[in-house]
Structure 1
Amino acid sequence: MEYTLSNKQIEEQLEKAAALVRTKEIVPAVVKSVGTQTVEIGGESLKKEIAYLELHNGLRAICPAEEFSEHEFASLNGFTGTIQSVVLTHIDLETGTTAASVKQADRIKKTDFKKALSAAVEDNTLLDHEFVGVVAGFNPATNKIFVRVNGTDCYMYPSDWDWNRNRNIEDIIERGQEIKVKVVRCDLSQDLYQVSRRHTIKDPWSEIEQLKHMNTVAGKVTTVHHIHGIFIKLDNGLEVKGQKPNKMESPDVGDVVTCAVREVDKENRRAKVVIVGYPRGKRKKKDLGGFLFEQ
């Protein structure tokens, strides 16, 4: 629903914007929509893609495609609805339009990030520092997960994600997902940064011996494969090999199960459990075409 601002509200917003332009403070903004705008450059009419932003204080701004990223995207449409860090660059007093730049905010954050890493490398405290990153994507050709940390493009391998053997990492990660990471390797001169989410998570194998002495433990079936077998994620996040008695009904992915720990090989990080029951009953398989008739 569109609404019209009063002259007083417009004046207040311009004052807020002017203060942010002066301080170059980095602030979060939501990409509300993406569109095109025709501009006159050198006597020629050109269409430019524009991201329309809204800051947390209700302030609105625009970010042209060339100020959105160091990278060139075919379109900014995929960023609609995402939260971006921006700095406000200037205000057009004639139109009351406030311009913002994601790219400049990234440059500021990247400079601060490199300074922090440089000091950590010198002090040999790299793994003492934790950062917040955003999953940007996955390249199956290189087997790398790309993570954006403080305006900097970083990468990790599936083994850096958590303590489990992730066979289908593409099914686990989600673009735009916010995660905590530590930098495990960096080459400041080449701008190469390997990060790890696993290093921010407690190793569940440290608790496996305790589970061995329990009568039963709870878990959820994550994989049922005709070659690799059954895999079950225990309550502590550990994924282990599962078995079932011959007379028991076969599990389905997503089933909550009660298990008994049978074998533990802590040195090789392997364990085996046996399913002893389905405490919530077997999951009902839906008729894939049935949704057409659901009320």
Structure 2
Amino acid sequence: MSEEMNQVEVKNFEIGDQVTGQVTKVEEKQVIVNIADSKLDGIIPISELSSLHIEKASDIVAEGDELDLEVLKVEEDALILSKRKVDAQKAWDDLVQKFENGVVFDAEVKDVVKGGLVVDLGVRGFVPASLVEAHFVEDFSDYKGKTLAFKIVELDKEKNRLILSHRAVVEEQKGKQKQEILQSIEVGQTIDGKVQRLTDFGAFVDIGGIDGLVHISQLSHDHVERPSDVVEEGQQVKVKVLSVDRDNERISLSIKDTLPGPWANISEKAPKGSVLEGVVKRLVSYGAFVELFPGVEGLVHISQISHKHIGTPHEVLKEQQTVKVKVLEVNEQDQRLSLSIKELEEKESEIPADYQMPEESKGFQLGEMIGDQLKNLKK
């Protein structure tokens, strides 16, 4: 086509016209297209290919692509065109609908910049760092190229401002999960959980979208000084549901109730006749309670404390004293142990008070005693 004919045809177009063009050549910083229904060429500068910054035109288009374009400038023999403006207009119409209806949609993270992430939705969408996740993220470098679900939280077409949030989607999903769990969970259930955080009074455990509290008294059968002595953050645990307050969204859990009790298999740990070491925990009028294992105490009845007659256990024992005991009886079901200290002590060699001496022996001894006294008087 001659230059004169080009100039004539160019005059048929005005700034703002919408045209379709087929890519005939992709250069580094611009793209050449043939305008549909004409033999006129158009030029798309690299800056007009995308709402995002791009290094080379081939990252966006290839030869043969059909593009919807807008006329930016009418030159003497060519048109300067924009793909970006058409994409943006289409995008804004779609984005306004998404924003008004609270639609959740997937999009790829195109870039990581200072302060957040960039997403290309036909227009540049920005995700502030605080709206990426519900938890703190120190380094966002591996988010580039990731596809995430987003909601639009702020939209201003005039200022070309589009703010997105992935955090809002995450929190919305968590909210739904939380309600589902609150409605389905039952007291007495044993479920798997993950320790989320520790406090002075216990541990919060995630049971699939909602946290429940394991009070420090429910962490172990043993006495616990600090929750960190028993569990750690990130640990997988089994918990039993103690109570559910759906109105206040509170769940009480127990790890202790999922563990074997201290009395489990006590018949094997403390069989009848065995000798064990324990600590005197309590003294009462009728005996002493001795702890053999954490949470397992047995009774040494006052009659089993000593071979000597004693009025109270305090006469021979004191609390926190370590003693050796013999197991007399084991009742695992009723959680009772009968113990003896006396059976491990040697009997004193003394004549029982009720012992009857033989008659002959009595007479013999008496005669000897009288004879000895007479001899002494004669002297």
Q: Decide which structure has the larger Cα Rg and report it.
A: 2
Tell me which interval the TM-score lies in, with the shorter structure as reference length: 0.3 to 0.5
What is the TM-score when the length of structure 1 is the normalising length?
0.44
